[in-house]
Chain A
Amino acid sequence: MPALLEVADLVTAYGKIEALKGVTLEVAEGGITCLLGPNGAGKTTLMYSIAGILKPRRGSIRLRGEELGGCAPHEAVSRGIALVPENRLVFPSMSVIDNLEAGAYRRQGGRTGRGEIDADLQRMFGRFPRLKERSAQLAGTLSGGEQQMLAVARALMSRPKLLLMDEPSLGLAPLVVEEIFRIVSELHRDGTTVFLVEQNAHMALKVAQHFYLMEQGRVSFSGDPGSLAEDEVIRRAYLGSAK
């Protein structure tokens, strides 16, 4: 598969401290790519750099060959990148439906007709029936799992080419985590490209086709699920010692 996203030699720093020390990786079009790594490895920094929240110091980020590095976050959304951020970050005092409208912000008032956005809203309600039941409710009153669904749906409302997900299972009950991963694989089946940051390697192994491991701002492993399970160090750190 051709690469949808190519990150090359990316360096992002907070002041003098380099959180990313030259990261190079690819995300295949139409696939699920998973990024593993301990806390503080720079995973969220990488996500924020791709989404335009953080400005990389060096290196390049290309989406279908077009350079993205350094563009503003709303520009990145226009180019087809949507991030479901860590801790969900829904708009707590806005209703569920207004959260979704905000996700479609760049498509409104322009060439996209209102009808198309309404159709997408209905599609989201079809995929996430709980959100439909609660469409008038304030997002801050939803449960953690429902907020995660809302964050995913909000990101999808921008019709992204690439969906970035930063630890979607964080702090959620096992059953809810399973539902999140079911949705990730459904999205994959529908042709969405997903780049997933995850600590839950067991769940990620069930859905992802390619894995990267990041440690201290560098990519230290790249491979398919088979080679991931064979790697002694990774197995011990992320899958428990049992083979």
Chain B
Amino acid sequence: MLADLVQNTLDGLAAGSAYALLAVGFTLIFGVLRRVNLCYGPAIMLGCYAATFVHLSFGAGLLVLALVCVLASVLAGGYVERLCFAPHRKGSGIAAMVASFALWMQLEEVAILALPKHLYPFPALYDGKPIDLAGFTIRVEALVMLGAASVVCAALWWVLYRTRFGIAARAVIDSPLAAELSGISVPRVSMGVFALASAIGGLAGFLVSASFEQVTPMLGMWSTFKGLLAMMLGGLGSLPGAVAGALVLGLVEAHSQWFLGPQLRDLLAFLMLFMLLAIGPRWMTTR
């Protein structure tokens, strides 16, 4: 029993760290645009498809694939930003959200047309044996995910709090009008933040694909849901909150899958969100 608890906690933290990357990207985009980008996940999925394509055609190694994932996600994210969000910067948030839904469908179709089988294999992050430590098996890919997420979060903190771009990004998140008056080009900074968020999402997509050892068109919806759920659990708009929400989501999923079964796993995650919304809607708006 105790061994199960510890093992599930480790697995939950690993999944949670992938969710954390997705949630952080989501939060950055939500922060600068005040818009929900439903196409965040599908852009990442397209990045992973690009990597799969490179893998199938040239048999490229993991590092190259990671790079392709990140670059292609940034390109796809930029496409989404130009088409859905740049035209509606001062206009309707609903229009932008609906447009991002339309692009979601479009990107999914593109992926299916390019690689028509439902499922493609993705090279494994690590195919050796798990580490045995004091009776617990620790999957190496879980450690890699946890490590990568920690490094990315630390790097992101450094960018936001120690660079000129970071000051501009936080200024735009705080007050776009005051940022413009301070000489910050809001459209340009927003695009930069969008690209940064897409790069983080691309890395998350790579880690998830390589640990599941497969890609399917469902990865898009999966990423959007997990990212959105973790961001909302963390209180909408706070980066530390997004990380915390993601880890909680990962832990709850891992434990409920073990003790209650996979059918109840997703239900529990949504139930948690429902209770938060019902009990304390103010949780969602405080930062």
Contacts and interface: CB of A to CB of B under 8 A. Distances in A.
Interface string B252-284: 000000000000000000000000000000000
B249 to A, nearest CB: 25
A14 to B, nearest CB: 13
- Residue of A91, A92, A98 with most partner-chain B CB within 10 A: A91
Contact of B183 (A53, A89, A106): A106
B185 to A, nearest CB: 5
A108 B164 contact: yes
A144 to B, nearest CB: 16
Interface in B169-217: 170-171, 173-175, 177-185
A158 interface: yes
A80 to B, nearest CB: 11
B287 A102 contact: no
Given A93-B287, A105-B164, A109-B164, A85 B181 contact: yes
A105 B183 CA distance: 6
B160 to A, nearest CB: 10
A108 B179 CA distance: 15
Contacts of B178: 85, 89-91
B183 A77 contact: yes
- Classify chain B: how many residues form its interface, as a range: 10 to 19
A94 interface: yes
Nearest to B237: A93
A101 interface: yes
Given A98-B170, A102-B167, A109-B164, A53 B182 contact: no
Interface string A74-117: 10011000110100011111100010011101101100000000
Contact of B177 (A89, A93, A101, A102): A89
Nearest to B161: A98
A94 B170 contact: yes
B170 A91 contact: yes
Contacts of B66: none
Contact of A94 (B171, B183, B185): B171
A91 B184 contact: no
Contact of B171 (A102, A109, A155): A102
15 contacts: A72-B185, A73-B180, A73-B181, A74-B183, A85-B177, A85-B178, A89-B178, A91-B174, A94-B170, A98-B167, A101-B167, A102-B168, A105-B184, A154-B182, A158-B182
Interface of B: 164, 167-168, 170-171, 173-175, 177-185, 287
Interface of A: 51-53, 72-74, 77-78, 82-83, 85, 89-94, 98, 101-103, 105-106, 108-109, 154-155, 158
